[in-house]
Amino acid sequence: MGKVFSIATMELRRWLRERSNIFFVFVFPILMVLMIGLMFGSSNLRIGVVVEPGDRLGPELIDDLDRQGIEVVAISSTEAGVTAVERGELEGLLVLESSGSPRFAARPDTAAEIGTLLEASLARASIQYRVADLMAERLELDSAQSLTIVNRAAAMSPPLVTVESETVGSALFGEAETRFDLGASQQLVLFVFLTSLASSGQLILSRKLGVIRRMTATPTSSLTVLLGETAGRYLIALVQALFIVGATMFLFGVNWGSLFGVGWIIALFCLVGTGAGMLLGSISSNEEQASGVGVMLALGLAAPGGAMVPAEIFSNTMRTVAKLTPHSWALQGLGELQFRGGGVGDIMAELAVLATFAVVLLLAATLSLRRNITP
Amino acid sequence: MILECKSIRKRFGDHTVVDDVSFYIAPGETYGLLGPNGAGKTTTISIVCGLLGKDGGEVLIKGQQMNTGTVSLRSAIGYVPQEIALYPELSARENLVFFGRLQGFKGPQLKRRVDEVLDVIGLADRADDLVAEFSGGMTRRLNIGVGMTHRPELLILDEPTVGVDPQSRNAILGAVERLATEGMAVLYTTHYMEEAERLCNRVGIIDHGSVIAEGTQRDLVRQIGQLDRVTIESPGALSPLVEQIEALTFVSTASAKEGQLRVLLRDGGRNLTRILHLFEDNDVEVRGVQIDVPDLEAVFLHLTGRALRD
């Protein structure tokens, strides 16, 4: 096992020495997740609220905003809130003062949307105060007395209409927690496979240089060399996958769901990528050929597999075609974990299919490469 | 014997590339396989290292059968392939450490061996530089270094000086000479006869997959009955001397032409003084003397009718 580990870690080291790999493994996927998130992702609005002492609207307003699915963030001062809006940390800021009208701040591109939303919310939250104030003025009552009457009347009012709703079928898209969730899983699948296929060039170079042959001239069996080369490519795919998961969690707060389940999908999908990379590396005659075919294959499988656009918008025929790609099964499993709160038990079918892909590809690669290695 | 090859044969399709090749190497001996490109040297070496299966014959390393599946005996061999089989993205040290690990070394022992090898191949000061940044000569030296990291009993070098500058070639030959002096047996293939002459105790001349002659350089020259040639330049009258020189028992022929006297004789180095005495006795001035001893090139030419580099 020591020699297998030596060969594997040396392959990883070679991989990381290549500057272009650093960009394509560590920078490019994150940029893609960011771009897709910014362009297509949806997100809950975050509104900061500054409530000054003596203001009576605060609690009702916060309840109302919350009922609409808006994230309300308590802000200590107007200045801090304005800064947060300017930095894009909040979509809007509402300042509730004890005297005077409520004020709001938003960026020019969202000012109209935020303004309309807050005005409607303010109108709903303040209606009982307006009625109470009117009663106090017309009936010459105390303000507090009027408000109590209005609140009691509101509590006694029977609901005018009862609306009952029922959801039929499952949602086309699961419930994403952040705008980056979907893009992150797509890029994970796309880049793990792409990186695995790209690493085949390294294998071809080793063959061409005669290094693999030289390894077999040492007291190292062909099987050990084969296992080492396979483990090396698996390690590369694993580094790619773990980096995307870790970085998107840390940078964008992506919710991956059950990490145990994600771990299983990554472990098997990396094996699929490794098998594909090894097979490509063993049958290609040079790095250029492997690189061209690799990129074509990686993108050609990612597109129908749902790693570029969600498979949910495909036609039924295309969805059936997508099932022929390992990408589709990996994304289906990840979607179950991310958007539907599933666990390992819910993705057993996906794991079984990925394992089958991995076994078939690794077997084919081993047989093909063994012909190159074994005297 | 550290290595015994007995009647090994190898065919690729209808083409026989190694045909009944036999030779042996004793511990501490440097044996050269001299032959032109395509003669079967690399195939023979690949069979010896267990990298290629054979169709007949046997290879014994330290008396034990060596086959493609024999892994344990490989630690006795240090294989230096003709191509630069190194990782260009790694440093010299990393390459040595990696192959050292495959030889079973680890920890302080591995570090010590790597440092020793870096010293021997003269790359200690460039140990941590990437191989991709090395010159052709430096990569060749490292290529050899990797083969001797584990201090093998038999070092096999397949044309290790192909494409290197004269300075690096000299350094490589010097390193091989040192290893041989320290008792390492060496199997050295080349198509440069001067390298074989300088390094090898014995030489096997291989052509079209067969060893056509074997022995020390002197044995081989003797086998083909070649004579030394002495050329003496002089402004004086040489014709009168020709008859006197031809009368000497060790001289085969002598001729004078354009200020040069050419003599074919046995043991040119030893008998030259007697010829020069005749010049002195006849008061003929000598301006230059050259002795050409028959070399392996001449042997090869004699045996095959072709030059080594044809």
pLDDT tens across A330-364, in order? 999 998 998 888 888 999 999 999 999 999 999 99
Q: What is the CA radius of gyration of chain B?
A: 24
On whether residue A168 sits in a domain, the answer given is no
Instruction: Give the per-residue pLDDT at A272.
Output: 96
How confident is the model at residue A67, as a pLDDT? 77
Q: Are A265 and A347 in contact (CB under 8 A)?
A: yes
Q: Which of A55-59, B37-41, B198-202 shows the lowest mean pLDDT across its residues?
A: A55-59
- Rounded to whole angstroms, the Cα distance separating A370 from A359 reads 16
A25, A148: one domain: no
CA distance A176 to chain B (A): 42
Query: Quick check: is A275 in a domain?
Result: yes
- Residues of chain A with Cβ-Cβ distance to B90 below 8 Å are 10, 13-14, 17
Give the pLDDT of residue A93: 87
Q: Which residue has the higher pLDDT, A142 or B119?
A: B119
Nearest-CB residue to B51 (from A14, A211, A213): A213
For residue range B50-90, list pLDDT tens digits in order: 989 999 999 999 999 998 888 888 999 999 998 999 999 99
Give the single-character DSSP code of B186. Answer: E
A276 shares its domain with A317:
yes
Q: Do residues A228 and A326 both lie within one domain? A: yes
Question: Which are the contacts of A121, defined by CB distance < 8 A and separation ≥ 6?
Answer: A61, A64, A65, A68
Nearest CA in chain A to B45: A217
- Point out the residue among B85, B104, B130 whose CB comes nearest to the CB of A213: B85
Sign of CA dihedral B39, B42, B47, B49: positive
Contact by Cβ (8 Å): A61, A121: yes
Ordered alpha helix ranges (H), chain B: 41-48, 92-102, 107-120, 136-147, 166-181, 193-199, 217-223, 239-246, 268-281, 296-304
**A50 and A35 within one domain:** no
* Claim to verify: residue A54 and residue A198 sit in the same structural domain: no
Average pLDDT, chain A: 85
Q: Which residue of A has its CA nearest to B89?
A: A14
How many angstroms separate the CA of residue A355 from the nearest CA in chain B? 31
Nearest-angstrom CA–CA distance, B219 and A183: 78
Pick A219's closest partner by Cβ from B86, B104, B130. B104
Q: How far is A217 from chain B (nearest CA, A)?
A: 6
Q: For residue B53, list chain A residues with Cβ-Cβ distance below 8 A.
A: 375
The rounded distance, in Å, linking the Cα atoms of B57 and B9 is 6
Does some domain include residue A368? yes
CB atoms within 10 A of CB A219: 19
Range of the domain at A360: 2-40+179-373
- Shared domain for A331 and A232, answered yes or no, is yes
Q: Are residues A364 and A262 in the same domain?
A: yes
- Percent of chain A at pLDDT > 70 equals 91
User: Quick one: pLDDT band at residue B11, thresholds 50, 70, 90?
Assistant: very high
Chain B environment of A221 (Cβ under 8 Å): 71
Distance CA A204, CA A220 (A): 20
Of the three residues A98, A120, A155, the one that is the final residue of a domain is A155
- With 0.80 as the threshold, say if the pTM is over it: no
Mark whether A184 and A234 lie in a shared domain. Answer: yes
Q: Kindly state the average pLDDT of the residues A82-99.
A: 82
Q: Examine residue A226 and state whether it is found in any structural domain, yes or no.
A: yes
Query: Can you give the pLDDT at residue A8?
Result: 94
- Give domain status of residue A167, yes or no: no
Q: Which of A63-67, A92-96, A320-324 has the lowest mean pLDDT?
A: A63-67
Note whether A193 and A306 are same-domain residues: yes
The one-character DSSP state at A70 is P
What is the largest distance, in Å, between two alpha-carbon atoms of chain A?
A: 106
Query: Average pLDDT in the A242-256 region?
Result: 90
Q: Is B76 on the interface with A (CB under 8 A)?
A: no
Note whether B85 contacts A211, CB cutoff 8 Å: yes
Which CATH number belongs to the domain containing residue A54 in this structure?
Answer: 3.40.190
Higher model confidence: residue B39 or residue B221?
A: B39
Q: Taking 80 as the threshold, does the pLDDT of residue B166 lie above it?
A: yes
Contact A219 B68 (CB under 8 A): no
Cβ of B52 within 8 Å of Cβ of A214? The answer is no
Which token pair is B184? 């390492």
Q: What is the pLDDT of residues A258-268, one digit of tens each?
A: 999 999 999 99
pLDDT at A232 over 80: yes
Residue B34 in contact with residue B204, Cβ under 8 Å?
yes
The pLDDT tens digits for A269-297 are 999 999 999 999 888 888 888 888 888 89
Question: What is the tally of structural domains in chain A?
Answer: 2
Roughly what angle, to the nearest 10 degrees, separates helices B136-147 and B92-102? 20
| Residue A166 falls inside a structural domain | no
Q: CA-nearest residue of chain B to A7?
A: B98
Q: Pull the structure tokens for residue B260.
A: 């040069």
Whether residues A118 and A265 fall in one domain: no
Is the same domain home to A119 and A189? Answer: no
The residue whose two tokens read 């070394």 is B105
Q: Which two tokens stand for residue B13?
A: 């399709």
Residue A183: inside a domain, yes or no?
A: yes
Which of B71, B88, B101 has its CB closest to that of A6? B101
Is residue B303 predicted with pLDDT exceeding 80? no
Q: Do A220 and A324 fall into the same domain?
A: yes
B17 touches chain A (CB under 8 A): no
Whether A57 is in a domain gets the answer yes
Residue in chain B lying closest to A208 (CA): B85
